């Protein structure tokens, strides 16, 4: 199965056979003072520059989240989404915990954006899944519910199955469901990486869905975070991960994902790997 996400003039395919998709995470104000200020001041030039930087670095999709204290998301999110969609030729991932904000952005976003996100909680299943059906867009579904984030694989897979069943009952195609298999900081729970990888494998093999994950959190609180993150990306690829919400401007992240794709036979003739290498060398030569 293939998940199709579209921008104004571009299409991204998310599947187990195609190269891993990088969803750029930088337009999210959590922990980012400059971005938070730019959002509150409606400094759209700054926000667009963040989107452009990520695309230039290798992002296939741009995640857009404006959730911060004092911001009315249903007003600002559609405006930011529309401006970014006009500025970059990649699809948008509309990211909010508020269904009213998600719908406001869906109304103005061109193409076929990705919706981020629902969970296994009843209140989310009853509000977000109908939006995905109404606007015919794929949706990211987190494998947690009212009980929080499960620490075991079995419960995460059961929640993913529940979400899939509810989506199909609503008439949403299985290929339009991506499962966020979730990862917690490895420094706080040394089993979390294994659970994440096992969940990804089972979601792919048993449910036929495409697993993805927001990966940056895994190394929180530990030294040399870049090393842990890149190892996580490589191991995840071998377990069937099809997309990562990550920072593509960290060169080592993009390189690791491309190298893993190449070794797993997802990059014919090393085309993507060589293209990225040439681009990196050209930038190095220009002094950028």
- Checking if the pLDDT of 62 tops 90, the result is yes
Determine contact, residues 233/250, Cβ cutoff 8 Å. no
CA dist., res. 181 & res. 200, Å (int): 6
Cα–Cα separations (whole angstroms), residue 169 to 133, 172, 242? 11, 7, 25
As a whole number, mean pLDDT of residues 255-270 equals 97
81-128 confidence digits (pLDDT tens) = 999 999 999 999 999 999 999 999 999 999 999 999 999 999 999 999
Q: Looking at residue 163, which CATH number applies to its domain?
A: 3.20.20.20
Residue 74 lies in domain: 3-286
Determine contact, residues 212/181, Cβ cutoff 8 Å. yes
173-184 confidence digits (pLDDT tens) = 999 999 999 999
Residue entry with tokens 């990486």: 193
**What is the band of 283 on the pLDDT scale with cuts at 50, 70, 90?**
confident
Burial group, residue 188, by CB count within 10 angstroms (0-12, 13-18, 19+): exposed
**pLDDT at position 288:** 64
What does R_g of the chain's alpha carbons equal in angstroms?
18
Determine contact, residues 19/275, Cβ cutoff 8 Å. no
pTM: 0.97
Handedness of CA 18, 13, 101, 87 (dihedral sign): positive
111 φψ region: left (φ > 0), alpha (ψ -120 to 50), beta (else): left
CA dist., res. 99 & res. 160, Å (int): 20
Handedness of CA 201, 149, 158, 209 (dihedral sign): negative
Residue entry with tokens 């405006």: 79
Determine contact, residues 99/74, Cβ cutoff 8 Å. no
- What is the tally of structural domains in the chain? 1
- Checking if the pLDDT of 187 tops 70, the result is yes
Q: Helix or strand or coil: residue 81?
A: helix
Closest CA to 242 of 227, 263, 257, 220: 257
């Amino acid at each position: 199965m293939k998940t199709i996400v579209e921008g104004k003039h571009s299409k991204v395919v998310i599947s187990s056979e195609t190269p891993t998709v990088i969803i750029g995470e930088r337009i999210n104000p959590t922990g980012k003072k400059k971005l938070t200020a730019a959002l509150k001041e409606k400094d759209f030039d700054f926000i667009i520059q963040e989107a452009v930087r990520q695309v230039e670095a290798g992002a296939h999709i741009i995640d857009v989240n404006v959730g911060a204290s004092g911001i009315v998301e249903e007003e600002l999110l559609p405006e930011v989404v529309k401006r970014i969609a006009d500025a970059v030729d990649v699809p948008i991932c509309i990211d909010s915990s508020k269904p009213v904000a998600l719908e406001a952005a869906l109304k103005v976003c061109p193409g076929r954006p990705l919706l981020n996100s629902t969970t296994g909680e009843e209140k989310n299943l009853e509000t977000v899944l109908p939006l995905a059906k109404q606007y015919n867009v794929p949706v990211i579904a987190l494998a947690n519910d009212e009980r929080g984030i499960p620490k075991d694989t079995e419960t995460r897979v059961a929640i993913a199955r529940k979400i899939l069943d509810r989506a199909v009952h609503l008439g949403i195609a299985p290929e339009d469901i991506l499962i966020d298999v979730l990862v917690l900081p490895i420094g706080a729970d040394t089993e979390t990486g294994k659970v994440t990888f096992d969940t990804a494998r089972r979601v792919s093999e048993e449910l036929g869905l495409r697993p993805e994950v927001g990966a940056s959190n895994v190394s929180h609180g530990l030294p040399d975070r870049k090393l842990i993150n890149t190892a996580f990306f490589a191991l995840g690829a071998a377990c069937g991960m099809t997309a990562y919400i990550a920072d593509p401007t960290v060169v080592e992240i993009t390189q690791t994902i491309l190298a893993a794709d190449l070794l797993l036979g997802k990059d014919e003739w090393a085309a993507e790997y060589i293209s990225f290498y040439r681009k990196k060398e050209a930038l190095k030569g220009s002094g950028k």
